């Protein structure tokens, strides 16, 4: 299969195209309301031409489309005449003599377009003028006059309309004539669109881990062009792997930065010198990872002996945020929209170089430290400082002694359809239950399997880290752990003792095997495998024998979870166009979809009492944990944290508590949640990335 991710040309109607649904809807709405000239703004490489190439899929039969290429518009001697020439070439309607145009462009254009478009309103000709630089739209400019002429023409010709595609940000349009027109802007993709853009084109050859897709979105700032670059490189570097995890991204960052350089160069050049100074400062702030406030930047610049008024810093941040370079995180804190752009700025435009180039702000000389000899000691001041330091130490001690890991969220709402048990509100820690999960110290480290008590104590690493060991699940009796490992060259299902000893490869197959799940009696393991050229569900005995295929279709089926009675599986499938949760009996081909939402639903977990299924969903714009009745009814968001992603739920034995991993504390940690109250606890709270927990004995 050829690489399905396209980065060297605009997308056509034959290519996989994701997103822009809202922009298409707004354009059609404007046209249906009688607007005859609409502006579409987007930076270079933002997909403007791809957008207009998709219009035939969205416009009704009452519109005819004509795309007129005006790039580079600055080099065209007479743009209006060029427009008429291209219309003539597209419609095969010969142009009259140019003398008439030179004498009266309005009359010439009206008469000619009347011949091309006709007089009626049922079959409107939409002319897409692609693409004019935003710099051309200044008061009194040639393009302002052209737009005025076209507006006069279409005022008398309802069968013609224009979509003027502008390269640049709409805030940089200086012409009042253009500003008065309806303006549409191409924004970054949302998280669901990112998942579709990366995951769908290569679905038949490779599956991408959700965390990999999330990190790709952060790296690209959800920009579709940068995402296409990253996805293309991931696909090229996949080797024979049919599943790619987060580690795969580390291998393509440098190449992606090089391929994205033309787009980054344009972004940099569009910014004002003041804004470039702010960008370079953000990128240079070691340890901040492109995150900071106006105060942080002012202090950092002062430390570098550069005097920049805080008002200038705030104005620069506002300029950059309004134009999509930065995104606001709250409370005056901002970060780079694209992490890859931050890395490029840091390497290509060091702060010292930018300051020397622009010379906008006064530089100060560092003060030499005064010699100690001869200094008079202010003992009263020393006493005051000592008292202040003592108070500070006391405050820090009291602050750290508090329980920072527990807080309340919106409780799970009990309804008539939700027969959730209410007994035993607290988790019985006397049962000595444990939680296993995958962990790694850095992005360059391999994943290891770790174990921790359900109160967060006694973390123990069970595997040696010489290979990637992932997705652990504890057997029902607590004696063994099934997990995924690539120690034999590809991902296989292994089983080891609960203390990490005696690992045994159960699958021993050249294809990828993934997402193991123990049956309630511990005799079987369900899993997903790529051995039949797509992800299907299989079941085998816990010693690896008697492998049986359970699903058979061209779509992906994976992530099984057993019902407590051992008769059914819940699992994930994309057979209906996006990832949904399904259930099926083991002895029947009947499959039932229990979720139905355009967003991704994944990672189902059947509660031990059989009444509920927990799952992770993107339906609120970020990944949250939901709990629904076992038939899928009454799904409720039990995490409700819009600024983080909560994933991979697993149940405690009481069917009242969940364990999951979340980045709510800016790192992947393992959390427990009491679903009736929202009470939760961060069990790991460490610099390591901890993911995919499972609760067991």
- Quick: pLDDT tens for 522-577: 999 999 998 887 889 999 999 999 999 999 888 889 999 999 999 999 999 988 87
pLDDT at 414: 37
Confidence of residue 409 (pLDDT cuts 50, 70, 90): very low
DSSP assignment letter at 45: T
Residue 222 shares a structural domain with residue 283: no
pLDDT over 90 (residue 129): yes
pLDDT over 90 (residue 330): no
Confidence of residue 506 (pLDDT cuts 50, 70, 90): very high
pLDDT over 50 (residue 508): yes
Residue 348 shares a structural domain with residue 441: no
pLDDT at 576: 80
pLDDT over 50 (residue 229): yes
Residue 66 shares a structural domain with residue 156: yes
pLDDT at 398: 56
Residue 248 shares a structural domain with residue 274: no
Instruction: Give the separation between CA 129 and CA 160, rounded to whole angstroms.
Output: 13
pLDDT at 431: 55
Q: Sheet containing 636-637: give its strands across.
A: 601-606, 612-617, 624-629, 636-637
pLDDT at 4: 92
Helix axes 273-284, 294-303, angle to 10 degrees: 80
627 backbone dihedrals φ, ψ, rounded to 5°: -125, 130
Cβ distance 33 to 182 under 8 Å? no
Q: Are strands 524-529 and 124-133 parallel, antiparallel or unpaired?
A: unpaired
pLDDT at 643: 77
Is position 427 within any domain? Answer: no
* Higher pLDDT, residue 65 or 665: 65
Nearest to 529 by CA among 514, 543, 545: 514
* Higher pLDDT, residue 317 or 412: 317
Domain count, the chain: 4
Task: Decide: helix, strand or coil at residue 40.
Answer: strand
Complete DSSP assignment for 568-636: EEEEEE-TTSS-EEEEEETT----EE----SS-EEEEEE-TTSSEEEEEE-TTSS-EEEEEETTS-S-E
Cβ distance 433 to 608 under 8 Å? no
pLDDT at 410: 40
pLDDT over 80 (residue 110): yes
307, 342, 363: which is the final residue of a domain? 363
pLDDT at 365: 60
Is position 15 within any domain? Answer: no
Is position 6 within any domain? Answer: no
pLDDT at 227: 96
pLDDT at 285: 82
Q: Sheet containing 568-573: give its strands across.
A: 557-562, 568-573, 580-585, 592-593
Q: Where are the beta strands (DSSP E) in 454-579?
A: 460-461, 469-474, 480-485, 492-497, 504-505, 513-518, 524-529, 536-541, 548-549, 557-562, 568-573
Residue 222 shares a structural domain with residue 338: no
Instruction: Give the separation between CA 503 and CA 518, rounded to whole angstroms.
Output: 16
E strand or H helix at 357:
helix 351-358
- Quick: pLDDT tens for 144-189: 999 999 999 999 999 999 999 999 999 999 999 999 999 999 999 9
Residue 255 shares a structural domain with residue 126: no
pLDDT at 289: 59
Task: Decide: helix, strand or coil at residue 319.
Answer: helix
Q: Which residues contact 60 (CB under 8 A, 6 or more apart)?
A: none
- Quick: pLDDT tens for 338-396: 999 999 999 999 998 998 888 877 666 655 555 544 455 566 666 667 777 777 666 65
pLDDT at 147: 95
The residue range of the domain holding 277 is: 263-363
Q: How far apart are the first and last CA of the chain?
A: 46
* Higher pLDDT, residue 488 or 363: 488
Confidence of residue 246 (pLDDT cuts 50, 70, 90): confident
CATH number, domain of 289, equals 1.10.10.10
Residue 69 shares a structural domain with residue 28: yes
Cβ distance 308 to 359 under 8 Å? no
Is position 534 within any domain? Answer: yes
Report angle CA 25, 31, 35 to the nearest 5 degrees: 135
pLDDT over 70 (residue 510): yes
pLDDT at 418: 39
Is position 391 within any domain? Answer: no
Q: Which residues contact 686 (CB under 8 A, 6 or more apart)?
A: 667, 669
Is position 419 within any domain? Answer: no
Instruction: Give the separation between CA 351 and CA 665, rounded to whole angstroms.
Output: 30
Cβ distance 607 to 577 under 8 Å? no
Cβ count within 10 A of residue 49: 20
Residue 197 shares a structural domain with residue 177: no
Average of pLDDT values for 3-27? 92
Cβ distance 325 to 275 under 8 Å? yes
Residue 312 shares a structural domain with residue 441: no
363, 396, 414: which is the final residue of a domain? 363
Cβ distance 211 to 247 under 8 Å? no
- What's the mean pLDDT when you consider all of the chain? 87
Instruction: Give the separation between CA 209 and CA 198, rounded to whole angstroms.
Output: 11
* Higher pLDDT, residue 366 or 195: 195
Residue 630 shares a structural domain with residue 492: yes
pLDDT over 50 (residue 585): yes
């Amino acid at each position: 299969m050829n690489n399905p991710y396209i980065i060297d040309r605009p997308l056509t109607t034959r290519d996989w195209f994701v997103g822009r649904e809202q922009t298409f809807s707004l354009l059609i709405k404007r046209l249906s309301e009688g607007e005859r000239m609409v502006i579409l703004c987007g930076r270079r490489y933002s997909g403007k031409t791809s957008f207009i190439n998709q219009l035939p899929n969205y416009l009704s039969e009452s519109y005819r489309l004509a795309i007129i290429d005006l790039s580079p518009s600055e080099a065209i001697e007479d743009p209006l005449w060029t427009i008429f020439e291209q219309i003539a070439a597209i419609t095969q309607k010969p142009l009259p003599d140019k003398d008439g145009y030179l004498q009266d462009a309005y009359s010439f254009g009206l008469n000619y377009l009347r011949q091309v478009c006709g007089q009626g309103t049922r079959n409107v000709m939409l002319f897409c003028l692609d693409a004019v630089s935003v710099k051309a739209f200044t008061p009194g400019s040639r393009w302002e006059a052209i737009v005025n002429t076209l507006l006069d023409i279409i005022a008398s010709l309802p069968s013609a309309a224009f979509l003027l595609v502008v390269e640049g940000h709409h805030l940089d349009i200086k012409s009042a004539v253009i500003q008065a027109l309806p303006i549409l802007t191409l924004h970054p993709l949302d998280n669901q669109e990112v998942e579709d853009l990366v995951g769908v084109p290569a679905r038949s050859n490779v599956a991408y881990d959700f965390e990999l897709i999330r990190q790709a979105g952060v790296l690209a700032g959800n920009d579709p062009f940068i995402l296409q670059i990253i996805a293309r490189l991931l696909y090229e570097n996949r080797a024979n792997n049919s599943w790619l995890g987060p580690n795969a991204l580390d291998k393509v960052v440098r190449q992606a930065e090089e391929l994205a350089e033309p787009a980054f160069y344009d972004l940099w050049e569009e910014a004002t010198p003041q804004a470039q100074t702010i960008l370079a400062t953000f990128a240079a702030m070691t340890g901040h990872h492109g995150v900071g406030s106006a105060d942080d930047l002012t202090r950092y610049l002062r430390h570098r002996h550069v005097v920049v008024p805080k008002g200038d810093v705030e104005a620069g941040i506002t300029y950059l945020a309004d134009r999509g370079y930065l995104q606001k995180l709250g409370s005056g804190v901002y970060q780079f929209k694209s992490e890859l752009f931050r890395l490029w700025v840091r390497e290509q435009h060091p702060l010292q170089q930018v300051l020397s180039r622009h010379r906008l702000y006064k530089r100060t000389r560092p003060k030499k430290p005064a010699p100690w000899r001869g200094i008079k000691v202010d003992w009263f001041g020393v006493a005051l400082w000592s008292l202040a330091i003592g108070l500070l130490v006391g405050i820090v001690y009291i602050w750290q002694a508090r329980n920072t890991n527990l807080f309340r969220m919106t409780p799970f709402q009990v309804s008539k359809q939700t027969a959730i048990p209410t007994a035993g509100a607290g988790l019985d820690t006397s049962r000595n239950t444990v939680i296993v999960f995958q962990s790694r110290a850095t992005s360059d480290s391999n994943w290891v399997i770790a174990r921790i008590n359900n109160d967060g104590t006694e973390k123990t690493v069970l595997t040696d880290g010489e290979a990637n060991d992932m997705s652990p699940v504890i057997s029902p009796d607590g004696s063994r752990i099934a997990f995924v490992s690539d120690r034999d060259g590809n991902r296989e299902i292994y089983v080891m003792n609960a203390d990490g000893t005696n690992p045994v490869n159960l699958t021993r197959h050249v294809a990828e095997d993934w997402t193991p799940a123990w049956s309630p009696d511990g005799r079987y393991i369900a899993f997903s495998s790529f051995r039949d050229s797509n992800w299907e569900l299989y079941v085998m005995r816990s010693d690896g024998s008697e492998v049986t295929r359970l699903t058979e279709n061209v779509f992906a089926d994976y992530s099984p979870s057993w019902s407590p009675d051992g008769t059914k599986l819940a699992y994930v499938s994309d057979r209906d166009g996006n990832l949904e949760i399904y259930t099926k009996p083991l002895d029947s081909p009947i499959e039932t979809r229990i979720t139905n939402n355009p967003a991704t639903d994944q990672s189902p977990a059947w509660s031990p009492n059989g009444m509920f299924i927990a799952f992770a969903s993107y339906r609120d714009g970020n990944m949250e944990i939901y709990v629904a009745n076992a038939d899928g009814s009454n799904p409720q968001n039990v995490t409700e944290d819009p600024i983080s992603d909560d994933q991979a739920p697993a149940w405690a034995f009481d069917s009242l508590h969940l364990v999951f991993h979340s980045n709510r504390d800016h790192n992947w940690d393992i959390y427990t949640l009491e679903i009736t109250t929202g009470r939760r606890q961060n069990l790991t709270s460490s610099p390591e990335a901890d993911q995919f927990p499972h609760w067991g004995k």
